[in-house]
């Protein structure tokens, strides 16, 4: 089975390998057969058999798909847009195919997560992906509060009807100087990318109420200014002192031992501090 990434919106992002794989497929399992059939039409690919595999029926469809692969059929699994099984169905199907002793082959391409990270301009390299933000107010507040002290980037999706509420909550609960990337409609006609300090999010949302449509990817910068939860040491202050005596790599190694922070994050902080001198 080929697990195949499809464009988020711009057809030019399809890969040559994906085109070849789709042309050779004897069965395509997908979220919405209408979406995939239209994609194939736009790519001028004759549509093979299509079967819908969605969150509510993924478990039931696994047996039939595994049987088709065992019989020698070339099967593709694709979600509506982006990389399958990343806040989309697909994980159960992949596990079932592998459990049957059959081969699973990735056909990589567009991912909304890495696309957003590539244009964030934030220095930290470590990140966590959280899927969609929680939907209830209490859970959303707890989620945002946990981001306030994370020493790595946080990436999550948000739907158009919830984006305004989530961004306002980020503005209320994050430290005012925390940077937030708001990526809307990535690779599509009305793509917008904005980096906003948390303190300015309320005004940003108010000035763009008519633009709260489309799919959102939100990236929250790492809390490199936060005190270490285990030692109370401020990594920025500590790194400034260590850089007076040590090269960046060694300073990051020492600071990691003292604070419990990741060495990679501290090295990025050291590079930022050095460039600001």
| Structural domain includes residue 169 | yes
Structure tokens at 246: 């040590």
Please write down the long-range contacts of 95-99, taking CB distance under 8 Å and 24 or more positions apart: 96/62, 96/63, 96/65, 96/66, 97/1, 97/62, 97/65, 97/66, 97/69
Do 196 and 251 have their domain in common?
Answer: no
Alpha carbon 243 to its chain's center: 33
Categorize the per-residue pLDDT at 58 as very low, low, confident or very high, splitting at 50, 70 and 90: confident
Do 125 and 199 have their domain in common?
Answer: yes
- Taking the whole predicted model, whether its pTM rises above 0.85 is answered as no
Our count of domains for the chain comes to 3
Which region, left, alpha or beta, applies to residue 133 given φ > 0 means left and ψ of -120 to 50 means alpha? beta
Structure tokens at 5: 């990434």
| Model confidence at 154: pLDDT above 50 | yes
**Domain limit, last residue, from 110, 145, 163:** 110
| Structural domain includes residue 81 | yes
* Beta-bridge partners for 132: 157
Q: Report the distance separating Cα 144 and Cα 134, nearest Å.
A: 10
* Beta-bridge partners for 76: 2, 28
**Domain boundaries, position 81:** 2-110
Do 127 and 103 have their domain in common?
Answer: no
Query: Residue 35 belongs to a domain with what CATH number?
Result: 3.40.1010.10
- Name the residue with higher pLDDT: 123 or 27: 27
DSSP readout, 79-146?
A: -SSBSTTSSSS-HHHHHHHHHTT---EEE----HHHHHHHTT--S---EEEEEEPPSSHHHHHHHHHH
| Structural domain includes residue 229 | no
The pLDDT mean for the chain works out to: 91
Do 41 and 99 have their domain in common?
Answer: yes
The average pLDDT across 208-217 equals: 87
Do 207 and 240 have their domain in common?
Answer: no
1-44 tens-digit pLDDT: 999 999 999 999 999 999 999 999 999 999 999 999 999 999 99
Residue indicated by tokens 């806040």: 87
225-263 tens-digit pLDDT: 544 445 566 778 888 889 988 998 898 888 888 877 778
**Domain limit, last residue, from 80, 110, 140:** 110
Query: Residue 216 belongs to a domain with what CATH number?
Result: 3.30.950.10
């Amino acid at each position: 089975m080929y697990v195949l990434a499809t464009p988020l919106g711009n057809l030019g992002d399809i890969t040559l390998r994906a085109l070849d794989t789709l042309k050779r497929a004897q069965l395509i399992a997908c979220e919405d057969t209408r979406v995939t059939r239209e994609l194939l039409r736009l790519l001028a690919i004759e549509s093979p058999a299509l079967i819908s595999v969605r969150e509510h029926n993924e478990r039931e469809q696994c047996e039939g798909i595994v049987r088709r692969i065992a019989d020698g059929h070339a099967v593709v699994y694709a979600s509506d847009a982006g990389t399958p099984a990343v806040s989309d169905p697909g994980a159960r199907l992949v596990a079932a195919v592998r459990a049957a002793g059959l081969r699973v082959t990735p056909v990589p391409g567009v991912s909304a997560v890495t696309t957003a990270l590539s244009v964030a301009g934030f220095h930290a390299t470590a990140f966590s992906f959280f899927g969609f933000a929680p939907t209830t107010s209490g859970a959303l507040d707890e989620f945002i509060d946990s981001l306030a002290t994370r020493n790595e980037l946080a990436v999550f999706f948000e739907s158009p009807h919830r984006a305004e509420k989530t961004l306002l909550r980020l503005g209320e609960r994050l430290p005012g100087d925390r940077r937030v990337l708001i990526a809307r409609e990535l690779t599509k006609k009305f793509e917008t990318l904005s980096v906003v300090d948390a303190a300015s999010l309320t005004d940003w949302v108010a000035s763009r109420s008519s633009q709260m449509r489309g799919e959102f990817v939100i990236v929250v910068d790492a809390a490199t200014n936060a005190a270490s939860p285990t030692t109370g040491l401020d990594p920025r202050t500590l790194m400034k002192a260590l850089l007076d005596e040590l090269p960046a790599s060694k300073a990051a190694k020492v600071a990691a031992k003292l604070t419990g922070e990741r060495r990679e994050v501290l090295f990025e902080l050291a590079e930022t501090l050095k460039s600001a001198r």
